[in-house]
Structure 1
Amino acid sequence: MNSKVQTPISLVLPDDEPDDTGPVTLGEDYWRKLGEHTKLEQDEIEPALGEFKKLHAMNLTHLLNQLVLIKANIEKNGTTSKKQMTLLRKTLQHYANAIRDFQYITELNTPPRIYRNQKRIALEGSFPELANPFPGSRNIPYNTFYRTLQKRTVQNRDGIRELLRKFLPNRLSWTESERRARPDVYSSGRAPDIYSPFVDSTARFIIGTFGGCALVVPMMVMVFQPSLTKTLITVCVAVVLFALALSLVFETDNKDTISATATYAAVLVVFVGTSTGQS
């Protein structure tokens, strides 16, 4: 019986794979341009961060196929070897790292389109031989999605601000800085990340007015021609409407809705108790 472990295909250890990047030879001119490009980006917040989603997918598929071949070989022979276990361990490590890398790069924030275009154009200008490695073909290697490490600040949405945004012109809903940074999104009519000061101020005014009316109106109803039945019905209706407004219009979470509704009901109950005691 042949105890030698057979392999269905010649597998190469990942660390020993040849360095074959394609037709472009990275000569002295490239390293000079790399230094010049790095100097140009010193004033930038961060360098270009290309996503290269297809390349990540290709790498993951390649590593997966290597693991499949190793698994098939072990199942066929019913045994393994020290060399094969070394290959398995390294391939699993590479596969896990590739998954984490892919997850990390795809979870980075999306910068404005003008930022992405600027990064791509700057790279193509600094490295023209890489921007067009195959003259005469439609090969554009730098044409990938670019990400950013900068955190994207998105203001919480609520019914009042969204209602104002839908009925007001876009120029009143967007800040000037965001209009310049995201002209494509602005032109499409979608919501901004940060509402304009005008929308914010108007929304706060509406919310403040609603809060005052939510207390004053029920009290006025209970004061005129007071009766116990009328007072109880008014309190119940007011509390239900207040809870509906919080949950539907302002989209508060469960804990905040319960706390605010209980506080509102307590204020009305105190008023009812005071007015009943005086009568």
Structure 2
Amino acid sequence: MNDFHLGQSPENFHGQELTDYVDQSIKDEEVFHYFGFEYLHRLNIVSLQNQLIALRESIAAGTCNRDQDPDRLKCLLSDYTNAVRNYNYVRQGQRLSPQETETRKLRLKSKFPSMVLRHRKTRPFESHYYYLQDGNSDSKVEFFRDFLRRHLPRRWTYTKEERHNRLQEYQQGKPPLQISKAVDKTVRLGVSLLAVAALVAPMCIMILNPSMTKSLITSSLFMIAFAVGISFGMKTSNSETLVATATYSAVLVVFVGTNSGSSSGAS
């Protein structure tokens, strides 16, 4: 940490603190974070909003300046639109977890002691923290792939390219942003085996000591379980979910009908 002396020029010292922090950030952090500044964004939007309300009132009352107000209206509307767009863009970032947020706060306080001393009233590092999302990241990942990329060994979950580009996160044990081929193939194999088990298991249950009541209860339970699994475990559209569930249900219904017919003939 830099030694801080109250006799030093705040501007000069702040510049040294800034460069030291950025240098350390480049070495230690692959993913950079930023502040949300929620209060300032809202203050800016509401201020522009009130100015537009006042301008609208002057136009309606006929007290506006015909030469100046059109240009002022254009500027205010442009500033207001940009303010709303900027605030929305900031909030679309990925928010840090509470634990990571506290870690960032402590790091900033240690790196910028002069700001802590000079800005005690506003608590300079109190804000929502967001981080910049990698453009190559797979942000929309279904449950199975997301679970495996977080819990499988890192040598499986990281691609060679991402391991090279995000060596710091790889060494720290953080999950990758992309889905590796190993994770993708593992999920495909697991889903295939689950599909086979979803058909074989109810058939085995229904064929042992068969009865119509047992077959109906078993098939109904497995249909419900299949619908729940595909709805919550995989990212599919409504039509895809409906088709998959209907197809699975049709297979079980056919088996129930065939099995009940065979049982009746045998009896």
Q: Is the 8 A contact 1:132 1:139 kept in 2?
A: no
CA apart distance, 1:258: 1.9
Q: How does 1:54-73 map to 2 (within 5 A)?
A: 54-73=39-58
* Whole-angstrom CA distance in 1 between matches of 2:255 and 2:95: 46
Q: Give the corresponding residue for 1:240.
A: 220
Q: Is the 8 A contact 1:67 1:88 kept in 2?
A: yes
CA apart distance, 1:206: 9.5
Change (3 A) 1:46 1:81: farther
In the alignment, residue 243 of structure 1 is paired with which amino acid? Answer: M
Q: Is the 8 A contact 1:111 1:148 kept in 2?
A: yes
* Whole-angstrom CA distance in 2 between matches of 1:248 and 1:40: 47
Q: Is the 8 A contact 2:216 2:256 kept in 1?
A: no
Q: Which runs of 5+ in 2 are unaligned?
A: 1-8, 154-186, 233-240
* Whole-angstrom CA distance in 2 between matches of 1:30 and 1:95: 32
Q: TM-score w.r.t. structure 1 length? A: 0.58
* Whole-angstrom CA distance in 1 between matches of 2:96 and 2:141: 13
Q: Which runs of 5+ in 1 are unaligned?
A: 1-24, 162-173, 178-199, 223-229
CA apart distance, 1:42: 0.6
CA apart distance, 1:31: 2.6
* Whole-angstrom CA distance in 1 between matches of 2:90 and 2:244: 35
Q: Give the corresponding residue for 1:33.
A: 17
Matched, 1:156 2:136: no
* Whole-angstrom CA distance in 2 between matches of 1:234 and 1:114: 51
Q: Greater relative contact order: 1 or 2 (C-alpha under 8 angstroms, separation 6 or more)?
A: 2
CA apart distance, 1:208: 7.5
CA apart distance, 1:67: 0.9
Larger Rg belongs to? 1
* Whole-angstrom CA distance in 1 between matches of 2:215 and 2:10: 79
* Whole-angstrom CA distance in 1 between matches of 2:103 and 2:22: 15
Q: Give the corresponding residue for 2:90.
A: 105
In the alignment, residue 246 of structure 1 is paired with which amino acid? Answer: F
What's the Cα RMSD here? 4.1
SS at match of 1:132: helix
Q: Give the corresponding residue for 1:50.
A: 35
Q: Is the 8 A contact 2:32 2:132 kept in 1?
A: no
Q: Is the 8 A contact 2:10 2:114 kept in 1?
A: no
Query: How big is each residue's C-alpha offset from its partner over 1:205-257, in whole Å with a ceiling of 9 and x where there is no partner?
Result: 999866543111112233xxxxxxx55x6554443332223345664543432
In the alignment, residue 89 of structure 2 is paired with which amino acid? Answer: Y
Q: Give the corresponding residue for 2:127.
A: 144
Kindly, what percent of the aligned residue pairs are identical? 17
Query: How big is each residue's C-alpha offset from its partner over 1:155-186, in whole Å with a ceiling of 9 and x where there is no partner?
Result: 639xxx9xxxxxxxxxxxx9699xxxxxxxxx
* Whole-angstrom CA distance in 2 between matches of 1:26 and 1:265: 78
Q: How does 1:171-186 map to 2 (within 5 A)?
A: none
Equivalent position to 2:201, from 208, 213, 217: 213
Q: Is the 8 A contact 2:44 2:83 kept in 1?
A: yes
